[in-house]
C-alpha cells in the first residue's frame, strides 16, 4: 500500500497504482469490458492478453545478458603513487563496455594534485586512442578554485563530499564549485526545503543524500528527511536543475544501474592499486580481486568472490526479494550486506541496508500518481514504462 493506493509491479519494472476496489477487481479476474482492462493489458498484468514477445525483449534488456561490463571505476587516490595510477588506468581501459567512467576520490586536492592531473590527461588520451567516451568525476572534500577550473576546462565533473548539519547557511556555498554532491546527514540536519534551495543556489545539478549510519535511529531520521527533500524537489523541480541521484539510479530497473552494486555497477581501486568489487568493499580484503598491475580483466570471473557477489546481488536468488513489490527497482550491494551482517546474502528484510533502501523506494514510489513527479521524471529522462 502506498497511501490509499496499491502498487502492483512485475519483474520487468512495469507498474500500476490501483485503488483498493480496483485491486479487488483485479484479483477477482477482470473482464474485457472492465475499464481497467486496457490499462493493465498495456502493462502486461493480464494472463489472457499477455504479449510474450514484448516480455522477452524486456527480459533481455534488463537481464545480465545485456550487461556490458562495470560502468564505474572508483579510484581512491589518497596515498597513491604515479606509477600505480598509470597501471590502474591501464587496467580500467582493459575492461569492456562502450564507455568508461572514472571517479577520482580524495580528501584534499592539494595532497594528490599531481596524481589527479596525470589521470585526467592520461585517461583523456587513452580515450582518444581507443575511441571510447570517457567520463571523469572528481569527488573531494576540498580543492582550490584554480584546481576546480582545471577540472572544468578538461570536462571533469566536480562532486563535493558534504555533511549536512543543522540548517544551511544560504550565504556560504560548498568548498568548491561542484556540479554534484554526495551529502551525509550530520548532527541535527534540518529544513530539507532549505537544503533543496541551497543546492540549487550554488549550482549543484544532482545530489545523493546518505544517512549518518545504518543503525535504526539514523535510518529512520534519514527516511523522514529524504522524503521531505524529495517532496520539495518535486514541487519546485520544473524550474530547477537539481536532480535526485537515488531516483535516477533505482528507477533504472537494471542491476548495473544501482549505485555501488559490486562488479556489475562498479569496481574500485585502493592507493596500492588493488582491485575490489566495489568502493564499499575496499576496507575488506575478502573482496580484493588482485593487483591492477597483474590482474587481467578476463580472470575476474574466475574469482570465487565475484561469483558469490553476482549470485547474491540478483533478487531471484533471494527468497524474500523474489516476491517483493520492490524487486524491479531494488537490490542491496552484497558488500553492504557483508559490512552490516557478515554475509553477502544478507538477512532481508532485517538488514538495515535493506530497510534503508525500502524506505527510499517508499518515498519515491508513493509519488508515482503525482503528475508533477512524472513530469520531473520525463525531464530527468527516467523511463518508467
- Per-residue cell: 317: 536468488
Instruction: Give burial (CB, 10 Å; 0-12/13-18/19+) of 39.
Output: middle
Q: How far is CA 210 from CA 88, 109, 287, 338, 343, in A?
A: 28, 23, 23, 19, 22
- Per-residue cell: 6: 496499491
How many CB atoms are closer than 10 A to CB 83? 10
When mean pLDDT is compared across 10-19, 308-317, 360-369, the lowest value belongs to 10-19
Pairwise CA distance, residues 50 & 52, whole Å: 6
- Give Cβ neighbours of residue 28 (< 8 Å, ≥ 6 apart): none
Q: How far is CA 302 from CA 65, 66, 246, 314, in A?
A: 18, 20, 32, 18
40-91 residue pLDDT tens: 888 888 877 777 777 777 777 777 777 888 989 999 999 999 999 999 999 9
User: What is residue 365's three-state secondary structure?
Assistant: helix
pTM of the model: 0.91
With beta carbons less than 8 A apart as the criterion, state whether 179 and 203 touch: yes
Q: Where are the domains of the chain?
A: 5-62, 256-362
With beta carbons less than 8 A apart as the criterion, state whether 289 and 262 touch: no
- Give Cβ neighbours of residue 204 (< 8 Å, ≥ 6 apart): 160, 174, 178, 179, 180, 181, 242
- Per-residue cell: 360: 527510499
What is the per-residue DSSP string for 34-62?
Answer: STHHHHHHHHT--GGG--HHHHHHHHHHH
For residue 2, how far is the Cα from the chain centroid? 23
- Per-residue cell: 17: 497504482
Crossing angle of helices 334-341/304-313, nearest 10°? 90
User: What is residue 353's three-state secondary structure?
Assistant: helix
User: Measured between alpha carbons, how far apart are the two ends of the chain, in Å?
Assistant: 20
How many CB atoms are closer than 10 A to CB 215? 12
**Phi first, then psi: what are they for 188, rounded to 5°?**
65, 25
User: What is the band of 235 on the pLDDT scale with cuts at 50, 70, 90?
Assistant: very high
- Asked if omega into 349 is within 30° of 0 (cis), the reply is yes
With beta carbons less than 8 A apart as the criterion, state whether 209 and 347 touch: no
How many CB atoms are closer than 10 A to CB 167? 14
252-303 residue pLDDT tens: 778 888 889 999 999 999 999 999 999 999 989 999 999 999 999 999 999 9
Mean pLDDT of 133-160: 97
How confident is the model at residue 384, as a pLDDT?
A: 57
What does R_g of the chain's alpha carbons equal in angstroms?
Answer: 22
With residue 138 as reference, give the H or E element that holds it: strand 134-140
- Per-residue cell: 103: 571517479
How confident is the model at residue 383, as a pLDDT?
A: 66
The dihedral through the CA atoms of 44, 49, 51, 55 has a sign that is: positive
* Total residues found in the chain within this entry: 385
For residue 260, how far is the Cα from the chain centroid? 6
162-190 residue pLDDT tens: 999 999 999 999 999 999 999 999 889 99
- Per-residue cell: 85: 595510477
With beta carbons less than 8 A apart as the criterion, state whether 77 and 104 touch: yes
Mean pLDDT of 319-323: 78
Amino acid at each position: 500500500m502506498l497511501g490509499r493506493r496499491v502498487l502492483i509491479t512485475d519483474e520487468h519494472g512495469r507498474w500500476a497504482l490501483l485503488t483498493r476496489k480496483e485491486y479487488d477487481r483485479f484479483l477477482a479476474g477482470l473482464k474485457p469490458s472492465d475499464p481497467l482492462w486496457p490499462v493493465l493489458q498495456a502493462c502486461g498484468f493480464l494472463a489472457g492478453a499477455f504479449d510474450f514477445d514484448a516480455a522477452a525483449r524486456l527480459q533481455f534488456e534488463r537481464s545480465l545478458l545485456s550487461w556490458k561490463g562495470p560502468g564505474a571505476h572508483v579510484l581512491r587516490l589518497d596515498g597513491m603513487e604515479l606509477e600505480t595510477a598509470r597501471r590502474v588506468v591501464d587496467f580500467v581501459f582493459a575492461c569492456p563496455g562502450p564507455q568508461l567512467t572514472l571517479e577520482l576520490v580524495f580528501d584534499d586536492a592539494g595532497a594528490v594534485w599531481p596524481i589527479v592531473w596525470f589521470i585526467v590527461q592520461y585517461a583523456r588520451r587513452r580515450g582518444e586512442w581507443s575511441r571510447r567516451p570517457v567520463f571523469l568525476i572528481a569527488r573531494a572534500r576540498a580543492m582550490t578554485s584554480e584546481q576546480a577550473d582545471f577540472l572544468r576546462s578538461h570536462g571533469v565533473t566536480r562532486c563535493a563530499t558534504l555533511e549536512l548539519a543543522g540548517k544551511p547557511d544560504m550565504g556560504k556555498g560548498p568548498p568548491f564549485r561542484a556540479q554534484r554532491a554526495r551529502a551525509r546527514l550530520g548532527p541535527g540536519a534540518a529544513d530539507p526545503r532549505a537544503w533543496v534551495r541551497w543546492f540549487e543556489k550554488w549550482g549543484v545539478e544532482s545530489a545523493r543524500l546518505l544517512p549518518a549510519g545504518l543503525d535504526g535511529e539514523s535510518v529512520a531520521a534519514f527516511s523522514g528527511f529524504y522524503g521531505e527533500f524529495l517532496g520539495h524537489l518535486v514541487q519546485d523541480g520544473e524550474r530547477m536543475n537539481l536532480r535526485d541521484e537515488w531516483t535516477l539510479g533505482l528507477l533504472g530497473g537494471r542491476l548495473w544501474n544501482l549505485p555501488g552494486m559490486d562488479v556489475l555497477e562498479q569496481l574500485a581501486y585502493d592507493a596500492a592499486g588493488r582491485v575490489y568489487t566495489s568502493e564499499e568493499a575496499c576496507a575488506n580484503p575478502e573482496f580484493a580481486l588482485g593487483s591492477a598491475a597483474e590482474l587481467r580483466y578476463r580472470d575476474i570471473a574466475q574469482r570465487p568472490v565475484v561469483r558469490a557477489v553476482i549470485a547474491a546481488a540478483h533478487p531471484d536468488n533471494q527468497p524474500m526479494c523474489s516476491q517483493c513489490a520492490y524487486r524491479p527497482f531494488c537490490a542491496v550491494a552484497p558488500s553492504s550486506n557483508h559490512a552490516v551482517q557478515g554475509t553477502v546474502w544478507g538477512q532481508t528484510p532485517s538488514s538495515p541496508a535493506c530497510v534503508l533502501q525500502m524506505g527510499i523506494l517508499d518515498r519515491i514510489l508513493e509519488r508515482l500518481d503525482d503528475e508533477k513527479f512524472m513530469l520531473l521524471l520525463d525531464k530527468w529522462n527516467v523511463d518508467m514504462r
